[in-house]
Chain A
Amino acid sequence: MKVTVDPIGCRAHGLCADLLPEAVRLDEWGYPVVASGPVPPGLVAEARRAVAACPALALRLRKD
Chain B
Amino acid sequence: MTILPPHHLDLAGHRRRNGVVPWVAYHGEDGRDRLIEAVAAADLRGRGGAGFPTAVKLRSARAPRSVVVANGCEGDPLSHKDAALLTLSPHLVLDGLQLAAHAVGAGEAVLCVHAGSPVLPSVFAALAERDDPVPVRVEEIPRRYVASEETALVHYLTSGDARPLGKSPRPDERGVRGRPTLVDNVETLAQLALVILLGPQHYLSARRDLVTVTGVVRRPGVVEVAPGAPLTAVLAAAGGETEPVQAVLVGGYGGTWTSDFRFGVSGIPAVYALPARACGLEYTAKVLAFLAAESARQCGPCMFGLPAIAADFAELLRGGPSTARLARRLPPLTGRGACAHPDGAARLAASALQVFGADLAAHSAGGRCRILERVA
Residue B65 at the chain A interface, CB threshold 8 Å: no
> Which A residues lie within 8 Å of B329 (CB)?
28
> Which A residues lie within 8 Å of B165 (CB)?
8
- Report the separation of the CA atoms of residues A33 and B299 in the bound assembly, to the nearest whole angstrom: 13
Q: How far is the CB of A55 from chain B (nearest CB, A)?
A: 15
Interface membership of chain A positions 15-39, coded 1 if the CB is closer than 8 angstroms to chain B and 0 otherwise: 0000000000001111101000000
Residues from 75 to 101 in B contacting A, C-beta threshold 8 Å: none
Interface residue tally of chain B, by bracket?
A: 10 to 19
- Report the separation of the CA atoms of residues A61 and B360 in the bound assembly, to the nearest whole angstrom: 43
In-complex Cβ contact of A8 among B298, B304, B305, B332 (8 A): B298
- Report the separation of the CA atoms of residues A5 and B166 in the bound assembly, to the nearest whole angstrom: 11
B166 touches A6 (CB 8 A): yes
> Which B residues lie within 8 Å of A28 (CB)?
329
Residue A10 at the chain B interface, CB threshold 8 Å: yes
- Report the separation of the CA atoms of residues A48 and B7 in the bound assembly, to the nearest whole angstrom: 62
B interface SS class: loop
Q: Quick one: closest A residue to B304, CB to CB?
A: A29
Tally of contacts, chain A with chain B, CB under 8 A: 35
Residue B160 at the chain A interface, CB threshold 8 Å: no
- Report the separation of the CA atoms of residues A28 and B328 in the bound assembly, to the nearest whole angstrom: 10
> Which A residues lie within 8 Å of B305 (CB)?
27, 29
Q: How far is the CB of B46 from chain A (nearest CB, A)?
A: 23
Q: How far is the CB of A41 from chain B (nearest CB, A)?
A: 25
> Which B residues lie within 8 Å of A33 (CB)?
332, 336
Residue B337 at the chain A interface, CB threshold 8 Å: yes
Query: Known: A29-B304, A29-B305. Is A7-B299 also a contact (CB below 8 A)?
Result: yes
A8 touches B338 (CB 8 A): yes
Q: How far is the CB of B328 from chain A (nearest CB, A)?
A: 8
A7 touches B332 (CB 8 A): no
B336 touches A12 (CB 8 A): no
B332 touches A12 (CB 8 A): no
A-B contact pairs, 6 of them (CB 8 A): A6-B166, A7-B299, A8-B166, A28-B329, A29-B301, A30-B300
Partner-B contacts on A (CB < 8 A): 5-8, 10, 12, 27-31, 33
